[in-house]
Homo-oligomer: A and B are copies of this chain.
Amino acid sequence: MIIDSHAHVVLPNERQIEWMDEAGIDKTVLFTSVVHPENASSLFEFKKEMGTLYDIINGIKNPLEERLKAIEELKSAIKENPHRYVGFGSIPMGLSYEENLIWIEKYIVKNSFYGIGELTPNSGQVELLEPLFQASGSTGNLPLWVHTFFPLIAQDIKTLLDLAKRYPSVSLILGHMGGIHWLDTLVACKELSNVYIDLSATFTTLALEFAIREFPERVLFSSDAPYTSPLSAKINIETLIKDKGLCQQVLGGNIANLLQIC
């Protein structure tokens, strides 16, 4: 089974299904989206949407209302095509252990989501995730999906991996493989068997090759749609991996094992 392990809700929903069909993707792990850059028809419209997104990624905005609306969008997309999706639910940054538990119960467990994310701490804010690691540990170890590209710096990723070390029962997915810090990130992952590596948004195929070679059972294909086309992302992996069994594992087997998707 081919599984895109990370894509955001695309509007209209039919387009997302078309993209999956075009790429031969059976199932997508779907995440919320508070912006819809896929509908921008000019650079300027796109810039406006991305401005909102960067304000969230950079911790300038942490919007509750938009987040709840985006969770409804996600639920609706999954309801329309329940066999094509599983969901990951978002959560605001900076909640206490108790607040995390309440949110997880209300918006993650009740919606039958498989994990929590995309988490987008700003640089210097990664420690705020500790109560969430604890809360995940108390609620069945829901995997956490954290954006690790810009604006995070090397020290932020180190802090994140320290959390993974202290909470070994919680699976941590490193979204975008550490960005420009991919090499140090991969080296640091060696000893952390609860850390998984998301292959989206990489900018060198050498990074992909090393990640796949070093962690064949812990690398996860994803498109991060709408930011990369699912077809392009999948062809990229297929072009790189000559071994058919390994390719199947990266394109779906590993995330299926992690999330217990049949």
CB of A46 within 8 Å of the partner chain:
yes
| Residues of chain A at interface, number, CB under 8 A | 34
Interface 9-residue window, one of A122-130, A226-234, A251-259: A226-234
Query: Are B202 and A203 within 8 A (Cβ)?
Result: yes
Task: List, in ascending order, chain B residues with CB within 8 A of A227's CB.
Answer: 204-206
**A residues 155-205 touching B (CB-CB < 8 Å):** 176, 180, 183-184, 186-187, 201-205
Task: List, in ascending order, chain B residues with CB within 8 A of A47's CB.
Answer: 183-184, 187
Task: List, in ascending order, chain B residues with CB within 8 A of A102's CB.
Answer: none
Interface 9-residue window, one of A79-87, A137-145, A235-243: A235-243
CB of A37 within 8 Å of the partner chain:
yes
CB of A21 within 8 Å of the partner chain:
no
Task: List, in ascending order, chain B residues with CB within 8 A of A204's CB.
Answer: 201, 224, 227-228
CB of A214 within 8 Å of the partner chain:
yes
CB of A43 within 8 Å of the partner chain:
yes
CB of A50 within 8 Å of the partner chain:
yes
The residue among A47, A186, A206 with the most chain B CB atoms within 10 A of its own CB is A206
Query: Are B240 and A236 within 8 A (Cβ)?
Result: no
CB of A150 within 8 Å of the partner chain:
yes
Other-chain residue from B44, B149, B229 in contact with A205 (beta carbon distance below 8 A): B229
Query: Are A206 and B239 within 8 A (Cβ)?
Result: no
Task: List, in ascending order, chain B residues with CB within 8 A of A229's CB.
Answer: 205, 239-240
Task: List, in ascending order, chain B residues with CB within 8 A of A239's CB.
Answer: 229, 231-232, 235
Task: List, in ascending order, chain B residues with CB within 8 A of A149's CB.
Answer: 180, 203
CB of A156, distance to nearest CB on chain B (Å):
15
Task: List, in ascending order, chain B residues with CB within 8 A of A224's CB.
Answer: 204
- Chosen A-B contacts, 11 in total, with CB atoms closer than 8 Å, are A37-B206, A43-B183, A46-B183, A47-B183, A202-B203, A203-B203, A203-B228, A205-B228, A235-B235, A235-B236, A236-B236
